[in-house]
Homo-oligomer: A and B are copies of this chain.
Amino acid sequence: MASSTDTEPLLRKIESLARFTLSTAERSALADIPMRVQALRADQDIVRLGDRPSRCCVLLEGFACVYKMTADGKRQITAFHIPGDIPDLQSLHLRTLDNSVGTLTACRVGFVDHEVLQVLCHTHPRIAGVLWRETLIDASIFREWMLNIGRRGAYSRLAHVLCELVTRLDAVGLVDDQTCELPMTQIELGDATGLTPVHVNRMLQEMRGAGLITLKNGSLTVHDSAGLKQIGEFDPIYLHLERPA
């Protein structure tokens, strides 16, 4: 089962989302959540479209994504997920999954039964509100991605996704000196932006040439953060990171 270090990413996530200070009772309820922890390799599905899961998964370590496919096999990644996220929290209230969730890198994932979460929500209504809020922020990111994919050019689109990832990673302490781990392949970046890998490559080259970023070996460094944000029209309001850093 889970040790208290396993539930820590979840606890931190809830804390950062809550617009109030957690009570001792809430805190210990979260720390004691029964969680089945599992290690997964890269490129594995955690849950699949059509599943009717009886549990949610908390991403403890690694990168994952939510995706859907067209009839002819083209993939759209609808979200990237980083440690602390709950990629399928929706399944708590929607019986049938309408998307798949897969790992991008090796991951550690904690599974929590819906029943446990239902009880948690019932006995700690404020936590229910926070979880609801989490799903609303995901939805807000979806809307921004729609704008990104539907109405921005390829260069701007990629810049926006990079800005978002850096900002979100920074919020969980995974950015150090403008540098962070960014292990997704150009194919995956293409699937997230609605571009082909070839064109992603060209846009990245252009960003490198412009001195905006370095992206090599799964590591991203942003040299000109203001420039990148301007190109990506990035305004973090939609991430709803309302707490002062």
Q: Which residues of A contact B (CB under 8 A)?
A: 50, 66, 68-71, 74-76, 78, 90, 93-96, 98-99, 122, 125, 128-129, 132-133, 135-140, 142-147, 149-152, 193-194, 233, 237-238, 240, 242
Contacts and interface: CB of A to CB of B under 8 A. Distances in A.
A194 B153 CA distance: 11
- Number of copies of this protein chain within its complex: 2
Contact of A194 (B66, B99, B151): B151
Contacts of A133: 93-94
Given A78-B143, A149-B150, 16 more contacts: A68-B143, A68-B147, A70-B152, A71-B233, A76-B150, A90-B136, A93-B132, A95-B242, A96-B242, A98-B140, A98-B237, A125-B125, A128-B128, A135-B136, A146-B146, A146-B149
A231 B146 CA distance: 21
A63 B191 CA distance: 32
A90 B150 CA distance: 22
Contacts of A66: 143
Contact of A137 (B94, B125, B238): B94
Contact of A146 (B95, B135, B145, B151): B145
A133 B147 CA distance: 24
